Amino acid sequence: MDIKKLLSEMTLAEKLGQLTQLNAVFFNAENDADITGPAAKLHIGEDDISLTGSVLNFTSAALMKKTQDAAMARQPHHIPLLFMQDVIHGFRTVYPIPLAMGCSFDETLVEDCARMAAKEAAVSGVHVTFSPMMDLARDARWGRVMESPGEDPTLNGRVGAAFVRGYQGDGTDPYDIPACVKHFAAYGAPEAGRDYAPVELSEHTLREYYLPAYRACVDAGVKMIMPAFNTIGGVPCTANRHLLDTILRREWGFKGVVISDYHAHHEMVKHGVAENDKEAVALAVNAGCDIEMMSTATYRFAKELLDEGRITMEQIDAATLRVLELKNQLGLFENPYRVASEKEEKRLHLCPEHRALARRAAEESAVLLKNDGVLPFSKALRKVAVIGPFAKEQGIKGNWAGNGRDEDCVTVLAGVRTLLPDAEVATTRGCSWELGETKVPDLEEAVELASEADAVVLCLGEYQHHSGEGNSRATLTLSPAQMTLARAVLDANKNTAVVLFNGRPLVIPELSAIAPAILDMWQPGTEGGNAAARLLFGDANPCGKLSMSFPYHEGQCPIYYSHLHTGRPVANPKEITQTGYCSRYMDVPVDPLYVFGHGLSYNTYTYDNLTLSADVIHPGEELEVAVTVKNEGKRYGKETVQLYIRDKVASVARPVKELKDFVKLELEAGESAAVIFTITEEDLRFHTVSGAFDSEAGEFEVMVGKSSDELLAATFRLEK
């Protein structure tokens, strides 16, 4: 399609329609009533609906086709709609939440999962997914940490790029769907962890730590980007010219489409930076926002703004052209359904191959936080009790699970029963997962089952809709009821492993002290129960590593391993420091309960012989950092080897350590492997005190190990 010619034939209203996105529900004949109902409240009339260029929130190939037919018939140039959807961690087959996927430290796995989601979504008519989310997640109170790979810029960037590759492919496969990185920028740092709250970050912190993961997705070729709801320095991201124009378009060379978040234009009025919707449009267009999601202010007010000379026709044309270009790249003008097909939905959704991948992802992203030796349980056990509010809970797929359904999810109980067909597997819920619950109606039964069992699987945690958008929490502990249940069950049977379900790091110091083993499954998706059973009984070997720190206490948030130095560090950050004018808490340690990068296996891996190929490097040279890792255990396993760097003296304070590279090794029992990382001067660059992105000569510490806390170290110098 010659889209430039098409553009030249379009009316202004048609162009503005392409810059509007509405809910698919408004397009369906049977929903016409909505136009005078909810649609009218949003100032959405028949015209807007006829000319709208894209939709979100629809459910199936059949609905997509019907909507596409109706829309194209009404659109004067028969321009097809773009169908967008939040395909965040799976479509119908759901894999673990992105925070868990971060814990897999496995880019191939992430790419494979994204590919699977793209396929399932594409056959249901999805053209674009609003994923990946690259907001640095350092405050577990914020409910949306579940959507981010975690707290580290390097890890997030690598996982983000893998998501983009998985969704988008090379653009030639019919199942490729464009990705949309979000929420640009720094939505993960809201004041006090409260969703939609303001963000205050220096330009240095923004560029050094918060922007790199979005940038990694842009460099991976992501086709769309979504500005965040929040303000930074008082400027809403949707109206942030510095972000959307200077950084994104000019510095990073982004050529794709910018789409606002849901109703964000109108929220500028609520932020108090625009007097009304018309002013909001002026701000958004001049900042560089192309599509307005779920409101029609651009459609209604752009003409007046053009007449007043406050926005230009060039801006409208350029934005419209970007949208048409995306449609053209997808081949929608020739084939408006693309690969939407009811038959293919039946073939692909929840097919055995997809379930197997979802199970593997759940296994590889689970983190064994603690194990005094009770795990793995023997498969020869005769009597097992599966107890707790998540024992037979199917709501473990997590928030933002696309078209995923609880009824498709395998519970822990079902997983254990399938794995141990000859064992007697008893169960009771004990109590509910409600926040703040105090009552444990089945306490007696739970204690009885626990004392009679050979082993207990105690399933505790946070319900799937207690994290995610709008679900910030000030307390991150398990409810009093869950803790009462835990104490009683652990008292009744020491051969107990806790299985946690959670969308964020929880505050569990007491549980961690009294439970002999804790396996964190996060919200593992469709195959969660099978994965948990296989991990607990040794058919799978845990290999996930935390991508986000577990605080001792909510009062430590935000907490992350790569913090800056302080002038008054505590002598031992792992202990409560009673006295002194130092950077401490009087009641909890400075360090988290479980650190970034931590995660156990049924094997022990030893690290030895850290050697550097040189003591000094210069720009253009490579430094090889070698280490030997040995599997001292009796099973095959995977170990994520992590490399951190500390810049000892620089023109601005640098983090105590920063992850620069990692590799996930596969090792047979008794096998050892030499791992070689390569460091160059480019890896040592940062935003210096003058604002330049550069390295500074001096001494660096390089650390390699199994977590951010258990590391071998050596030093080298950079000379320039």
Looking at the annotation, which residues are catalytic? 261
The percent of the chain in helix, strand and coil, each rounded to the nearest 5, is: 35, 20, 45
86 near ligand NOJ, rule: CB under 6 A: yes
Q: According to CB under 6 A, which one of 15, 141, 165, 182 is a site residue for ligand NOJ?
A: 182
Radius of gyration in angstroms for the set of CA atoms belonging to the chain, rounded to a whole number = 26
Please state the closest distance from residue 488 (CB atom) to ligand NOJ, in A: 40
Pick out residues in 44-73 that bind ligand NOJ (CB under 6 A): 56
- Binding status of residue 83 toward ligand NOJ by CB under 6 A: no
Cβ-based nearer residue to ligand NOJ, 468 or 528? 468
DSSP secondary structure of 287-321: HT--BEES--HHHHHHHHHHHTTSS-HHHHHHHHH
User: Which residues does 562 contact at the CB level (< 8 Å), separation at least 6?
Assistant: 151, 152, 209, 596, 655, 656, 657, 658, 659, 708
> Which residue in 91, 105, 130, 594 binds ligand NOJ (CB under 6 A)?
130
The amino acid at 381:
L
> CB nearest ligand NOJ: which residue?
130
- Give the nearest distance from C-beta 153 to ligand NOJ in angstroms: 20
For 410-446, give one letter per residue: b (16+ CB within 10 A) or e: bbbbbbbbebbeebebbbbbbbbbeeebeebebbebb
> Judged by CB, which is closer to ligand NOJ: 53, or 589?
53
Among 262, 561, 602, 677, binds ligand NOJ (CB under 6 A): 262
Using the minimum distance from each CB to ligand NOJ, give the nearer residue, 55 or 588. Answer: 55
User: Looking at beta carbons only, is 182 or 646 nearer to ligand NOJ?
Assistant: 182
Strand ranges in 452-582 using DSSP code E only, listed in sequence order: 455-461, 496-501, 517-520
Contact partners, residue 634, CB within 8 Å, separation at least 6: 603, 669
Residue number with CB closer to ligand NOJ (218 or 228) = 228
645-684 footprint of ligand NOJ as x/- string (CB under 6 A): ----------------------------------------
Nearer to ligand NOJ, 238 or 695 (CB): 238
CA separation for the pair 280, 238 (Å, rounded): 9
Q: Is there a contact between 522 and 544 (Cβ–Cβ < 8 Å)?
A: no
- Binding-residue pattern over the window 441 to 470 for ligand NOJ, x denoting contact by CB under 6 A: ----------------------------x-
CB of 127 to ligand NOJ, least distance (A): 14
Q: What's the closest the beta carbon of residue 331 comes to ligand NOJ, in angstroms?
A: 24
Q: Looking at beta carbons only, is 452 or 469 nearer to ligand NOJ?
A: 469
- How far is it, in rounded angstroms, from Cα 209 to Cα 200? 14
Please say which residue, 87 or 425, places its beta carbon nearer to ligand NOJ: 87
Shortest Cβ distance from residue 13 to ligand NOJ (Å)? 25
- Measured from the CB of residue 469, what is the shortest distance to ligand NOJ in angstroms? 6
Q: Does 135 bind ligand NOJ (CB under 6 A)?
A: no
Please list every residue from 272 through 331 that binds ligand NOJ, using CB under 6 A.
none
How far is Cα 326 from Cα 332, in angstroms, rounded to an integer?
A: 9
Q: Which residues of 526-559 are buried (b: 16+ CB within 10 A; e: fewer)?
A: bbbbbbbbbbbbeebbbbbbbbbbbbbbbebbbb
Which residue, 89 or 182, is less far from ligand NOJ as judged by CB?
Answer: 182
Count the site residues for ligand NOJ by CB under 6 A: 7
Nearer to ligand NOJ, 245 or 469 (CB): 469
- H or E segment to which residue 40 belongs: helix 38-41
Q: How far is the CB of 243 from ligand NOJ (least distance, A)?
A: 16
Q: Could you tell me the smallest distance in angstroms from the CB atom of residue 130 to ligand NOJ? A: 4
The DSSP secondary-structure symbol of 250 reads I
Please tell me the distance from the alpha carbon of residue 22 to that of residue 125, in angstroms, as a whole number. Answer: 16
Q: Taking the complex as a whole, how short is the minimal distance between the CB of residue 89 and ligand NOJ, in angstroms?
A: 13
Give CA–CA dist 305/308, Å, rounded: 5
Nearest partner of 144 among 476, 471, 403, judged by Cα: 471
Instruction: Give the Cα separation of 360 and 405 in Å (integer).
Output: 19
x/- site string to ligand NOJ, residues 520 to 539, per CB under 6 A? --------------------
Strand order, beta sheet including 605-612: 605-612, 622-631, 672-680
Q: How far is the CB of 505 from ligand NOJ (least distance, A)?
A: 21
- Residue 158 is inside which H or E element, if any? helix 153-168
Candidates 261, 292, 462, 520; binder of ligand NOJ (CB under 6 A) is 261
Own/partner pairs, 4-13, CB within 8 angstroms, 24+ separation: 4/321, 6/77, 6/79, 6/324, 7/317, 7/320, 7/321, 7/324, 9/77, 10/77, 10/320, 11/76, 12/302, 12/303, 12/306, 12/316, 13/47, 13/51, 13/299
* CA–CA dist 417, 325 (Å, integer): 52
Binding site for ligand NOJ (CB under 6 A): 56, 86, 130, 182, 261-262, 469
